[in-house]
């Protein structure tokens, strides 16, 4: 176990549904990340939060809405998704540095396997 | 275009043999990291090598970094069936403060 948990582990949703992915880290880190992993594509960084403030939005469509209520929890709210959004969504955390998120080591959760019908 | 590119994309060897994977990147870096991912799971950090280091060891893992060639290699010695996984390199690009991952090498260890 890496100290980062994600729920649910699997999610099947229709294109008109609204759902949320949850991530929780028990490592005392200050930075949290959402990644998307699709088949045959590199891991794509979606969002970065440092001290609960969003510091990176990697041109992600607005149908993905992140929320970081505190430094231990991160949500990804989903609405009106497309079938091509089906992927493994990974959350990660790291220890920040004074000038921004430290990228020395990231700790990943097990991921949520999302299928959009 | 992606920063890190692993080579080969897939590698299949017999248990006990050594496995070597390579990673090339395009821009200058602060550090380069290797991660492992078992099928459908999250990534696990293996080893980090900084731009001023040339070689690093951790157990059966050996990582080299050649900044002049913008490349790194991961060597797993005396492979085991449990080493079967995908291996990714990730670069911390100078000034970007975020990791950029390659597409990975799928390693299969045959018993």
Residues from A contacting B (CB-CB < 8 Å) are 2, 4, 6, 40-43, 45, 48, 56, 88, 90, 92, 99-101, 103-111, 113
pLDDT score for A2: 75
Least confident of A9-13, A22-26, A83-87, B98-102: B98-102
Least confident of A55-59, A71-75, B2-6: B2-6
Q: Do A42 and B31 touch (CB under 8 A)?
A: no
pLDDT, mean of residues A57-73:
91
Residues 6+ apart with CB under 8 A from B39: B85, B86
- The closest alpha carbon to A102, from B37, B33, B62, belongs to B33
Q: Which pLDDT band, with edges at 50, 70 and 90, does B94 fall under?
A: low
Please tell me the distance from the alpha carbon of residue A31 to that of residue A51, in angstroms, as a whole number: 6
**DSSP run (H or E) holding B51:** none
Distance to chain B for A100, nearest Cα, Å: 7
């Amino acid at each position: 176990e890496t100290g980062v948990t994600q729920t649910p582990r699997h999610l099947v949703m229709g294109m008109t549904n609204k759902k949320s992915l949850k991530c929780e880290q028990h490592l005392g880190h200050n930075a949290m990340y959402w990644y998307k992993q699709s088949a045959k594509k590199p891991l794509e960084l979606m969002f970065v939060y440092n001290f609960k403030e969003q510091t990176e939005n990697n041109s992600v469509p607005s149908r993905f809405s992140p929320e970081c209520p505190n430094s231990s929890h991160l949500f990804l709210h989903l609405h009106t998704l497309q079938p091509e959004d089906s992927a493994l969504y990974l959350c990660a955390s790291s220890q920040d540095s004074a000038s921004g998120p430290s990228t020395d080591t990231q700790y990943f959760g097990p991921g949520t396997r999302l299928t959009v019908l | 275009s992606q920063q890190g590119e692993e080579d080969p994309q897939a590698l299949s060897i017999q248990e006990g043999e050594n496995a070597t994977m390579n990673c090339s990147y395009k821009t200058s870096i602060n550090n380069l990291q290797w991660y492992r991912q078992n099928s459908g799971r999250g990534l696990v950090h293996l080893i980090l090598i900084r731009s001023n280091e040339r070689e690093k060891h951790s157990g059966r893992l050996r990582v080299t970094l050649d900044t002049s060639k913008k490349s790194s290699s991961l060597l797993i010695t005396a492979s085991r069936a449990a080493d079967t996984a995908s291996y990714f390199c990730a670069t911390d690009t100078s000034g970007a403060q975020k990791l950029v991952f390659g597409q990975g090498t799928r390693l299969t260890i045959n018993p």
